[in-house]
Structure 1
């Protein structure tokens, strides 16, 4: 998708790219300094990571209400690598929310397992509906499957929502009753838009003996290209039985996180003031722009969960099906194609995230609206980032594109932002 956008922009097309989940933040200068300091470290080091970086990550979790020892931590070149190693090292089939991040299912397939998608609740994404999950487990076992792992995403990619504590409690109780291991992908944890109004509950608080938490610096600090991820395993013998086979897989796949990146990670996870301020500024920026795109989608007639974390919205254009059908738009794929060809708005169709192919849903990554590096810095500093010219122009493009597609009066960005 990125290559397609680059090619068409090079040919002179005006496109608004909303199909790639990159944070698009300027590099914090102190992180560049740490990378330079670590550049002389050329040895492999321990597979799990140095004691320095593991202690820093343990402190990060401890400050978030999860007392953690350094021996529970593994660092890796990105959380994606850790998620793959978990699939390879820990047996059992996998239950996924539907829709979900588009990497989970291919990883399940590569590991030779079966994946079972379970619809998400009406109020939020990232977790399966508990009743539907129970039914899915019964049917899967009747068919000879062995569901063992349950993946949760908190906050969620693709819906930009955070499951509430009560729902997490229900799922943890169900996981205990059904002997499921929980893999909690919390890479967006530090991008809750309003933490005071949106409490965060990790499964590791409620079912610590059966929860692996995966995180990283790609989203909160915009370091996707540096590939820094971390996992927290349960403590004690149970944790060792999970962590050791993952370390064995890691030893054969990536050996160790690059030593310069461990230097960066140790600094970032220690959370000095400039890092905590950057994360707070980024969460505020993501929230402002995601809510603006949400308002545009709703004004165009879509149903859409209000975003509370991350930098995504997930509009559902089902109320507009008659108008769209008249234009030949009948499913997620044709919807994404029409938005691209008729409006120059690039989105990720819902069926690529495991959703119903016939549904009229798509994911929009709102962080791609911030502009170039200089404009991103201005957006981070702005009291009202959606008023900045670059962001406002991109929002107007999206508003016009949705209105054009559904044969409505063009919605002016200022009317809904």
Structure 2
């Protein structure tokens, strides 16, 4: 597996490309046409996005029960730069669920902010256990820290799970009660595998004055190669001040959307029928593949929460520690290398997501299981049974072979 180049870099090291797992699907032709039509424009969108983009973003959130006006919104070329601006607009240390998206913590490090991880409950990721959250806040304050922000994701990368509304409410009420502001990353909220499953509720519906919502369009609506993200700030005086501070930072960084990307983002946020249909078909396809990968992990003796949203599965191979040790694998970094070599595509270890290095956890993305160029994932979108396509079946067979080989290795057997 190709290894990342880190020589000459600072404290921010390789991680999966933000905002997370790629789609593995061809660009929607309608969006490509929009980009082509706007390609002649040499003017970027203004910092924070133009009126049409903000209007489209407002409609997107109003359709999901999140009330906002044009002056409550901002856009940027990708979620990382927008999150950085949001963090910079607030005082205090960050609290993050463990595990969390790989691109969150680097924003805190680049801003020189302390970040503390809080364990998630057994049933899902993305939202910290409320009691562990309160204990962490108490401990951080006792050690001289200043907790100020809690980052959550109701539809989570890396665990691929959806947080139940009651857990979201308890965690958010605990955070707000302790004076923290909530940043809700809802990049993956439109990627639920089962529309009739867990109802996704935004913290902004429960704590509207204390929640900033962030969404990267690469989650469901647009290709990751066209970076575009939007944020909804709370209404009122405080929200206006936070938005102004964030816009100042975006302006200073020159973080403006290119005109063709802004046009595509505006079109996607309006959710015309082809965009909505592609989002639904993509979510269903990745759900089928994630379920198949989940069955493979469980059959090998590993553990994993059932995937509910997004494009990944978070596997815990602690029950196979003996078999892994027999192959020279004793931590997440070695597990990442071992599985990456066996699968032929990256399998980021849990240490990328804030988990302990010694924990044998790994994120398995579904995009590499959809096939290979020249038509990655294209046929799978329209197939009656995508799992029976030769390219998908072959990829799932490679996954099964890698885990089967591990499962049948004696715990005291010879190394690799």
TM-score w.r.t. length of structure 1: 0.91
Equivalent residues of 2:311, 2:366 under 8 A apart: yes
Matches for 1:133-152 after TM superposition, within 5 Å: 133-152=133-152
Stretch deviating more after TM superposition (328-337 or 55-64): 328-337
C-alpha distance after superposition, 1:43-89 (max 9, x if no partner): 24432211111000100000011122111111110112101111223
Show the counterpart of 2:319.
319
Equivalent residues of 1:184, 1:212 under 8 A apart: yes
In the TM superposition, what is the alpha-carbon distance from 1:238 to its structure 2 partner? 1.9
In the TM superposition, what is the alpha-carbon distance from 1:345 to its structure 2 partner? 5.8
Question: How far apart in 2 are the matches of 1:132 and 1:120?
Answer: 8
Show the counterpart of 2:94.
94
Equivalent residues of 1:18, 1:348 under 8 A apart: no
Show the counterpart of 2:70.
70
Equivalent residues of 2:77, 2:257 under 8 A apart: yes
Note closer, same or farther for the CA distance 1:369–1:112 as it changes in structure 2 (3 Å cut): same
Equivalent residues of 1:18, 1:347 under 8 A apart: no
Show the counterpart of 1:50.
50
Question: How far apart in 2 are the matches of 1:286 and 1:384?
Answer: 12
Question: How far apart in 1 are the matches of 2:245 and 2:107?
Answer: 17
In the TM superposition, what is the alpha-carbon distance from 1:222 to its structure 2 partner? 4.7
For 2:367, what is the secondary structure of its paired residue? Answer: helix
C-alpha distance after superposition, 1:232-268 (max 9, x if no partner): 1111212101101000000011242112211111111
- Moved >6 Å (runs of 4+): 17-20
In the TM superposition, what is the alpha-carbon distance from 1:405 to its structure 2 partner? 2.1
How many residues get paired? Answer: 398
Equivalent residues of 2:222, 2:268 under 8 A apart: no
Stretch deviating more after TM superposition (329-338 or 26-35): 329-338
In the TM superposition, what is the alpha-carbon distance from 1:334 to its structure 2 partner? 2.1
Show the counterpart of 2:190.
190
5+ residue gaps in structure 2? 5-15, 411-416
Q: In the alignment, does 2:145 pair up with 1:110? A: no
In the TM superposition, what is the alpha-carbon distance from 1:91 to its structure 2 partner? 1.8
Question: How far apart in 2 are the matches of 1:258 and 1:338?
Answer: 40
Equivalent residues of 1:126, 1:163 under 8 A apart: yes
Question: How far apart in 1 are the matches of 2:122 and 2:330?
Answer: 22
Question: How far apart in 1 are the matches of 2:75 and 2:151?
Answer: 19
Show the counterpart of 1:381.
382
Matches for 1:211-226 after TM superposition, within 5 Å: 211-226=211-226
Stretch deviating more after TM superposition (253-262 or 96-105): 253-262
Q: In the alignment, does 2:247 pair up with 1:242? A: no
Equivalent residues of 1:18, 1:346 under 8 A apart: no
